[in-house]
Amino acid sequence: MSSSHNNNYAFNEMIVHIPLCSHKQPKHVLIVGNTIDENIKKEVLKHSLENIEYGNNEIITKRNKKDIDVVIVTDNNIDSQLLANINRIIKNDGILCFISSTYDQNSTKLQDDLKLVGDKFWITMPFRFESNTCILASKKYHPVSDIILQVSDLLPNLNYYSSAIHTSSFIFPVNIHKALNGIAKR
C-alpha cells in the first residue's frame, strides 16, 4: 500500500522513521516507489541526512556505487532481481524497509519476503502497525536493540510514531511469532 493510496499518517511515519531511527548515522537515503507523495518527503526531511533521492526501480538499477545507507520501498514488491540490485548499492551496514503482506491476509507472501531478504541481510524482522505489515532488513543494526533514542524521541510534529510504538511494532502474537520462527531473523 503506497502512501498515495493511504491518507493515513501512520504509514508515512512508520515506513520512514523505523529504518531511519534504527541506523546509527544514515547519510544517503533512497526512497523508491511508483508514487511517493509529499507526506513521505516531509517525514524524511525530519532527519539530518546529507542526500535523499526519490525515484522508481530505475533509480536502483542505474546506480553503480555502493553508497546507500537506507533504502525504503514504498509500494513495489521486492523480487530477487530488485533485491540483487539493492544489495549491489547498499552499504555493508545498510537497511532496507518495504511493505509486505499481513500474516492473516497472506502468510505465504510474508514468509517468502522474509526468506528472500534473509539471504542478503543479517536481520530480517517484520513489524506491524494498524493494518500494515512491513519488513526491516538490516546488515548490521537491530531495530529494537539499536534504536537511536536521541533521534526517535526528538522528532517534531508526529501523529503516530514514537519510540514506544517503534519497539512494540515488532511484537507479534505467539502463534505468528512461532510460525515465523526460523524465517524471521531476530
Blockwise average pLDDT, block size 10, the chain, 186 residues: 57 97 98 90 96 95 95 93 97 98 97 97 97 97 97 96 98 97 94
Only one residue has cell 512508520, namely 14
With residues binned 3-state (H G I as helix, E B as strand, rest as coil), the percentages for the chain, rounded to 5, are 35, 25, 40
8 Å CB contact between 88 and 66: yes
Query: What are the φ and ψ backbone dihedral angles of 125, each rounded to 5 degrees?
Result: -130, 130
Give buried/exposed letters for 45-63 (b at 16+ CB in 10 A, else e).
ebbebeebebeebebbeeb
**Termini Cα distance of the chain:** 25
Q: Which three cell numbers stand for residue 170?
A: 515488532
Phi-psi region of 60 (alpha: psi -120 to 50; beta: other; left: phi over 0): alpha
**Grid coordinates given for 132:** 500494515
Grid cell listed for 6: 493511504
The residue ranges of every structural domain in the chain are 9-180
Give the pLDDT score at 4. Answer: 40
| DSSP for residue 116 | H
pLDDT at 3: 40
Backbone angles phi, psi at 12, to 5 degrees: -60, -45
CATH fold for domain 9-180: Rossmann fold (3.40.50)
Dihedrals φ, ψ of 179, to 5°?
Answer: -65, -30
State the Cα–Cα distance between residues 186 and 184, nearest whole angstrom: 6
The angle subtended at Cα 160 by Cα 96 and Cα 186, nearest 5°, is 40
Cα gap 95→127, rounded to integer Å: 14
SS3 83: helix
Q: What pLDDT score was predicted for residue 34? A: 87
